Structure 1
Amino acid sequence: MKALRLTLESFRFAWQALKANLLRTILSLLGVTVGIFAIIAVFTIVDSLEKNIRDSMSFVGDKVIYVQKWPWAFGGDYPWWKYFNRPVPTVREFREIQRTLNPASHNGVAIFAATGGNTLKAGSNSVSDCAIQGISFDYRRVSDVPVAEGRYFTQQEMNAARNVAIVGYDIAHNLFPNGSAVGQVFKAKGQRYTIIGVMQKEGKKLLDTPSNDTNCYIPFTSFTKIFQLSTNGMGGAQPTIAIKGRDDDPGLLNLEAEIQGNMRVIRGLKPREDDSFALNRPELLANAITQLFSVIGIAGWVIGGFAMLVGGFGIANIMFVSVKERTNIIGIQKSLGAKNYFVLFQFLFEAVFLCLLGGGAGILLVFLITLLPQDALPLFLSAGNISLGLTVSVVIGVLAGIIPAVLASNLDPVIAIRAQ
């Protein structure tokens, strides 16, 4: 109860002091406002940019290992020209991995291949530059297929190589603008396909990565009827085998070792021979993105730190002036029985309150910016960044106000009352 009363009294004194010197208060707020605005704006942009980049790369999936000919990153002592001699994954290898992998070590095995630049037609309507991707039944286990209307493939459709398709939002609405696309028929590569599902609209991505809006999924068995699969990676569609890992396998180390061993056995590699395949993981890209944005975050702290330093000095200067102006009042308070901690808390609270006002104004400015329509980079202000801004404001207030508050609390009441 005493602490609450002390807080309310300190708040009243601080508010009266701030109102009595409104212009000085506003000028003092500017330094903190600019500092918090700089820090939170940088972190908001970094978080938004990172989220958009990760969303743009969501097509690679999470906790997935891809068996491919080419690695996503070259390294080590393996000569780069030897990669040309590697064979691409085959349907036989996919079936062998399905058969030999321990079912308890993974959540699904899929094979897929894609070709771009295709034109789909329905009556007088057509859509160009579309990607046609052949997928196996378990593809939805390794990658997201967000069907908004209709359904996913059945195992019977996959086995029978039926001409059915799941199309992206743009394909559906350009081919069939006047109604639902589900159940409609379009042509691709001379073949007629029936649409069984339409995916959710993704919209424009920050990076030029594959979008489901112009993507067309068909059964892998149907895909092989209209496209030739590559055997050496130099021509035709290159199949990729994808294996979804389990959450209880940290880093997917056990799954990776099992896949590597099975692939070496399937390809008949001798113990001294190098792997003739690459095991690619999205974590490599995620780690690179994290490292990049950690550097940008440090730059944000440096930029905002200088602004906060200026704001902190401004608050400290104002607090010294405030102590000087209210020395007589301090003497009266102490002569009436006010304790040193009451005077200290009063000025310290005033400094923190001032910084919180400035920090709140800076956060409000960032929030207003996030409300502006942004097509390329939608911005969002997270609760974490709001908490960070308020916490930094409190810390700056304590650091800027502690010395003036200590000086005020240690004033001799007799000398303070005589001060003019």
Structure 2
Amino acid sequence: MSRLNRFINSSWEGLKISLNALRINKTRSVLTTLCIIIGIVMVTLMNAVSNGMDSEFDKSMAMMGQNVIYVETQPWNRGPDYKWWEYRNRRDMKLDYVEEIKEASRLASEVSATVAQSATIRYKDTSTEGVFLAGVTQKYFDTAGLDVEQGRVFTTEEVRRGQKVTVLGATLADKLFERGTPLGKEIRISGQEFTVIGILEKQGKFLGLADMDRRAITPITVYGQIYGLRSGIQLAVKFPNEEIMKEGEYEVEGIMRRIRGLEATEENDFSINKPQAFKAQLESFKTGLYIVGGALTALSLIIGGIGVMNIMFVSVRERTKEIGIRKAVGAKAWEILYQFLIEAVVMCLLGGLIGLAISYPLSLLLNQLFIASIDLSVVFSAFILCSLVGLVFGFIPAYKAAKSDPIESLRYE
């Protein structure tokens, strides 16, 4: 028999023996791999969340508009250097800044203003609380990259005159109007009647959290009549492309310093924010996730590996006589080693399969609450991880079995 045939036969026999051993000791095998199951569940869900966040990030950034910067009183990045005591005393943005920036800028293609708050919206006997209500200038739909699926957006004249018209998000429209078209219907916002003139195209959730389709958009002038415009105005400046946006950021900063009357030695009393700021926060979150999740996964796999090694020592001791008989009839040491390594790997793979079977429904549940997506690379990585745990922690018991004296093994009772 050639070495290759012998290796194949040994692999097949080792696999049958290991599966038979696992079948006989089902409960012991599952309990032994419990920590491996936990480790695989943790590493799978951790990667599922990370993959989900990556896949949703670009989509979420598109919801904020392409090549847009935002001018506000406070920065978005609220890290350890966040000076809230300084930012809260900054002067508010003003609606007049929209025209001033547009007239002074050579690079900006569109400028808009937005102010928002949570509101309750009613249609007849149906009401929805916690709706994102935004008052905007007419160019907001261009800077935010929003399109309407039905109807239209409001005109510059409607904004100027403070017409009580509104454009609804898809989720809100479905909630308020279960049958028929919402267009032309009257809804109530803070006791005021507004006419629905458009329905936005469905966008989904921002980073898997906020439903961007659960909102209502009104002209900023009528919003100001109801709620006032003393604070919370956000300015959005859009540029033709990314290259121009980089230069345009400095231009807008200079324009804002002039508008605010700042001296050369004074610091900015406003912040220029970009959607890319979320990328740094996302990476920071993912780093923390990997550190904590990786440490707990490693601990679970090490504990699980020690359990596998312990059971393999028990298995070697229980089958000492069998090992002696196999050696007596010509089995090589490497075949004995290989047999027990296969058994250790199969046991760990069993834990991996159970872990993946648990992870899949958990990831579906997690995706309803946040964002999670399992792909084939995660499954492949889980199998490799389980195999490595089996090889590393199964080697010492397997080596002990391979090096055992056949005569002493045959005498073992």
**TM-score (structure 1 length as normaliser):** 0.73
Deviation at 1:70, TM superposition (A): 2.9
Map residues 253-402 of structure 1 onto 2, 5 A cutoff.
Answer: 256-264=249-257, 271-370=264-363, 376=369, 381=374, 383=376, 385-402=378-395
Question: 2:220: which partner in 1?
Answer: 223
Residue 133 of structure 1 aligns with an amino acid whose one-letter code is G
Report SS of the residue matched to 2:113: strand
Question: 1:150: which partner in 2?
Answer: 150
Q: CA 1:341–1:244 in structure 2 vs 1: closer, same or farther (change >3 Å)?
A: farther
Map residues 13-412 of structure 1 onto 2, 5 A cutoff.
Answer: 13-40=17-44, 64-72=68-76, 75=81, 80=86, 83-85=89-91, 88=94, 90-96=97-103, 99-101=105-107, 109-116=110-117, 130=131, 131-137=133-139, 139-140=141-142, 142-143=143-144, 145=146, 147=148, 149-150=149-150, 153=153, 158-161=155-158, 165-169=166-170, 171-173=172-174, 176-184=177-185, 186=187, 193-200=195-202, 211-213=212-214, 215-218=215-218, 222-224=219-221, 227=224, 235=230, 238-243=233-238, 256-264=249-257, 271-370=264-363, 376=369, 381=374, 383=376, 385-412=378-405
Q: Which consecutive unaligned segments of at least 5 residues does structure 1 have? A: 103-107
Report SS of the residue matched to 2:90: helix
Q: Which consecutive unaligned segments of at least 5 residues does structure 2 have? A: none
What is the distance in 1 between the residues matched to 2:271 and 2:59? 24
What is the distance in 1 between the residues matched to 2:319 and 2:370? 50
RMSD (Å), alpha carbons:
4.7
Deviation at 1:363, TM superposition (A): 2.5
Q: CA 1:11–1:256 in structure 2 vs 1: closer, same or farther (change >3 Å)?
A: farther
Q: CA 1:304–1:170 in structure 2 vs 1: closer, same or farther (change >3 Å)?
A: closer
Q: CA 1:112–1:416 in structure 2 vs 1: closer, same or farther (change >3 Å)?
A: same
What is the distance in 2 between the residues matched to 1:330 and 1:205? 57
What is the distance in 2 between the residues matched to 1:234 and 1:135? 13
Deviation at 1:351, TM superposition (A): 0.4
Bigger Cα displacement from structure 2, 113-122 vs 16-25: 113-122
Q: CA 1:79–1:166 in structure 2 vs 1: closer, same or farther (change >3 Å)?
A: closer
What is the distance in 1 between the residues matched to 2:400 and 2:222? 86
What is the distance in 2 between the residues matched to 1:340 and 1:247? 66
Whether the 8 Å contact between 1:167 and 1:199 is mirrored in structure 2 is no
Whether the 8 Å contact between 2:121 and 2:188 is mirrored in structure 1 is yes
Whether the 8 Å contact between 1:110 and 1:136 is mirrored in structure 2 is no
Report SS of the residue matched to 2:173: helix
Deviation at 1:353, TM superposition (A): 0.7
